[in-house]
Amino acid sequence: MARIELCKTADVDEGTAIRVESGDLVLAVFNLNGAFYVTDDTCTHGPGSLSEGPIMGDNVECDFHNGVFNIKTGEVVEPPCMIPIKTYQTFVDGDAVFIEI
């Protein structure tokens, strides 16, 4: 398994997300109450960017078709999306956010 540093913890304000590109990956890094979660940034239903969508609790709404995903699990919460988004094992080391792939 490889560790990939995505950003610094200070880059993601609490209750927000940022888009991060690393190699072939286009990811959304979320800060929920000081805990960090990483998903694919592109909605599974269309070209929407999840890092641009509104965050409501543990869920993010795609800004394109308004489908909703659980940030922690990737599961679909509201249609029209049907396919869960990919989530990544995420951890913080010092002041940096990493995923393991």
- Render pLDDT for 12-58 as a digit per residue (tens, 0 to 9): 999 999 999 999 999 999 999 999 999 999 999 888 999 999 999 99
Q: Burial, 94: exposed, middle or buried (Cβ in 10 Å; 0-12, 13-18, 19+)?
A: exposed
- Say what percent of the chain tops pLDDT 70: 100
**Do 80 and 67 touch, CB atoms closer than 8 A?**
yes
Domains and CATH numbers, the chain: 3-100 (2.102.10.10)
Distance CA 44, CA 50 (A): 10
